[in-house]
Amino acid sequence: MKLHEYQAKQVFADAGIPTPGSALATTADEVVEVAEDLGYPVAVKAQVHVGGRGKAGGIKLVEDADEAREAAEDILGMDLKGYTVNKVLVEEAVDFTNELYVGVTMDRGEGKPVVMVSERGGVNIEEVAEEDPDAIAREHVDPAFGLHPYQARKAVYDAGIPREVAGDVASILTTLYDLYEDRDGSDVEVNPLMVTADDEVIAADAVMNIDEDALFRQPELAEMEEEAAEDDLEAKANEYGFDYVRLDGNTGIIGNGAGLVMTTLDLVDYYGGKPANFLDIGGGAKAERVTNALDMVFSDENVDSVVFNIFGGITRGDEVAKGINAALEQFDEIPKPVVVRLAGTNAAEGREILNDELVTVEETLEGAVQRAVDFAAEEGDQ
Amino acid sequence: MSILVDDDTRVVVQGITGGEGKFHAEQMMDYGTNVVAGAVPGKGGQEVAGVPVYDTVDGAVEAEDADASVIFVPPAFAGDAVFEALDTDLDLVVAITEGIPTQDMAKVNKRLSETDTRLIGPNCPGIITPGEAKLGILPGNIFESGDVGLVSRSGTLTYQVVSNLTERGIGQTTAIGIGGDPIIGTSFVDALEAFEADGDTKAVVMCGEIGGEDEEQAAKFIAEYMDTPVAGFIAGRTAPPGKRMGHAGAIVSGSGTGTADSKISALNDAGVPVGDTPNEVAEYVEDFL
């Protein structure tokens, strides 16, 4: 789960990390009002979950009320990489002499958290990471002990952070690690961490992503999760509790187990089709869940055919078949052709239950995918 | 022959009084697994599925001389359950639970590095030696005893590939689902090393997926240390960057690491053919044998 910048900054500020003065606004009038209070120049920053907001026109620096209004009108309501901007953060512009980077994340390969510091912060940090990895100092953390103070200092010295601010940067890094640990972060970072002419450091941006699996013990953060202006279908999937990702093709895909569903997507592509989505109904799904899954996929207007691929371990073929029948019997006419492939536990019983007038049954994975791709091509032509 | 489990393995089921735990304990026993006890705090003295339940894992291990455990404990308590298992002298711990917080697993990982116990999972279907024993939730009826080792990050994809093998009359020595989480106990390399050391395993299938660099590490290991032929499959070729595809670990990060292309080319460079379809993987294995 991702926090918005304004939410993350609040968490950081509460933990004692210096952040610029700011307030949230949802209308142009509010933007101007906040900007007048803060004093110009201010930055107007779109609050959406996409990277590279600045480069995409979602952040504007303004010098007076007219510019503030203009920026607000441009940004509020704009579409930023598929997300509609409904909120902006209006923030004091920091007059900086240097931009640093500090962050904490999990190093999967090592199975340990890692803290990172760089003297070359700013919008190009990912390029720096790729082209000059040594420009980012790293320290792995033993999760049993946490970040030792010497490690925070070492990372700061190794990164070549100027002596005047080294102590403050080490202290901010320590606070970030504590937040990462206490709040079950998955990525916690400040980029840029700005250095001012009088050697103050201030968090000009804030990223805080939380481990979804740990939200049960982070109730305050869980409450901050917003119905993002995400795709309506993804919102519907959340309601049903499905792992769902919308893609841009026209062959709808439903399956059980992430690896098998991904494989089904790959096969659709391999046989010349385009996957419309990833939808994992999970293990042990009962009839109702299957019905919901079909409802989900039929709600995507791009879908021209559906392939249902179930390999039952704890999921039972007869339950799946009942769900498919129940979903399709509601329609006078089946919206789009559905191909079903059942294997594993109770697959034969399931195939027996399926109504041949409503669905096309295939024995093999490859056969089912090819059939669905063919259907999608025919429907797409109509 | 097999790796890690066989019909002598004496198994404790942690969480045996829960719905999942009880159901799968019975399924495991039906398959022939030697389940000797359950362990659930506060439920000591009960009997479930015909075996005694103990309050602690240590109590179960002491009393029943167990050497492996399978964990069916809800995610909020599963990290603690793994610690409890690691603090006994069990040889093998299999964690089925999905959704354990990553930082809990980082702590488990640290403890694991200080013990001799092998952890499989979490978020995995378990391990099976066909005809002898299964520890986990794999459907036993699709497996056949034979010469091929299988290691996979995904449950149902494992079943798919196994059924493609079994249809061709190719059986398995042991199949391991290592799990789809970012931090897991047994990596591809660990499993491949065990199969390489097993004289009866004549070929190995590894099924990877996007995310992380475990498959790339495995490719290096295969090139340097393995004589046993390996065939591969990688799921997630069509996955867009930045979207989590079900498994917590299955995500291609923004900077392009963990892609299917990177894994496939690493495996190809190590001499491992990678199938475009699960059935093609089975064809490669048939050619090896």
CA B148 to CA B195: how far, in whole Å?
9
Q: Please list the residues that pair with A202 across neighbouring strands.
A: A194
Cβ neighbours for A84, distance < 8 A, ≥ 6 positions apart? A48, A77, A78, A229
Q: Which domains does chain A have, with CATH numbers?
A: 21-92 (3.30.1490.20), 96-224 (3.30.470.20), 232-381 (3.40.50.261)
Checking if the pLDDT of B254 tops 60, the result is: no
Q: Which of B92, B247, B248, B284 is catalytic?
A: B247
Q: A337 phi and psi, to 5 degrees?
A: -60, 140
Preceding amide of B52 cis, omega within 30 = no
Q: What is the DSSP letter of A93?
A: P
Q: What would the two tokens of residue A236 be?
A: 């519907």
* Best B98, B238, B247, B279 residue to mutate vs chain A (most A CBs within 10 Å): B238
- Measured distance CA(B238)–CA(B209) in Å, rounded: 11
Write phi, then psi, for A287 (nearest 5 degrees): -55, -40
Instruction: Please report the pLDDT score of residue A114 as a whole number.
Output: 96
B139-288, superfamily in CATH? Succinyl-CoA synthetase domains (3.40.50.261)
pLDDT score of A194 more than 90: yes
Pairing of β A79-80 and β B133-136? unpaired
pLDDT at A229 over 60: no
Q: Do the beta carbons of residue A161 and residue A120 sit within 8 Å?
A: no
How far away is chain A from the Cα of B226, in angstroms, using its nearest Cα? 22
Eight-class DSSP state of A4: P
Interface contact B73, partner A, CB < 8 A? no
Range B10-120 classified under CATH 3.40.50.720: yes
Average pLDDT, chain A: 92
Nearest to A58 by CA among A48, A69, A70: A48
Cβ B156–A268 below 8 Å, yes or no?
Answer: no
Tell which residue, A259, A182, A141, A104, has the closest CA to residue B109.
Answer: A141
pLDDT digits (tens, 9 = 90+) for B40-81: 999 999 999 999 999 999 999 999 999 999 999 999 999 999
Summarised one tens digit per residue, pLDDT across range A26-83 is 999 999 999 999 999 999 999 988 777 888 899 999 999 999 999 999 999 998 877 8
Give the count of Cβ contacts less than 8 A between chain A and B.
172
Which residues on chain B are in Cβ contact (under 8 Å) with A214? Answer: 101-104
Structural tokens at position A374: 């063919």
Q: First vs last Cα of chain B: how many Å apart?
A: 17
User: Which residues on A lie below 8 Å from B139 (Cβ)?
Assistant: 312-314, 344-345
| Residues paired with A103 in a beta bridge | A116, A189
- Tell me which DSSP letter residue A196 carries: E
Look at residue A310 and tell me whether its pLDDT is greater than 80.
Answer: yes
pLDDT at residue A379 greater than cutoff 90: no
Cβ of A366 within 8 Å of Cβ of B279? The answer is yes
* Percent over 70 (pLDDT), chain B: 98
Domain residues of chain B, as ranges? Answer: 10-120, 139-288
Tokens of A290: 């299957």
Cross-chain residue pair A266–B153, CB shorter than 8 Å: no
Any idea which of A346-355, B98-107, B236-245 has the lowest mean pLDDT?
B236-245
B residues 161-180 lying closer than 8 A (beta carbon) to A: 163, 180
Question: Does the annotation mark B24 as catalytic?
Answer: no
Tokens 């990471």 map to which residue? A129
pLDDT digits (tens, 9 = 90+) for A322-340: 999 988 988 888 889 999 9
Q: Indicate the pairing of strand A96-107 with strand A112-118.
A: antiparallel
Residue type at position B20 = E
How far apart are the C-alpha atoms of A323 and A291, rounded to whole Å?
Answer: 5
Domain B10-120 and domain B139-288 have a common topology: yes
Mean pLDDT across chain B: 94
Angle at the Cα of B189 (from A106 to B138), degrees rounded to 5? 90
Cα–Cα distance for residue pair A260/B231, rounded to 1 Å? 18
The closest CB to that of B160, out of A216, A268, A311, belongs to: A311
Closest CA to B146 of B166, B176, B125: B166
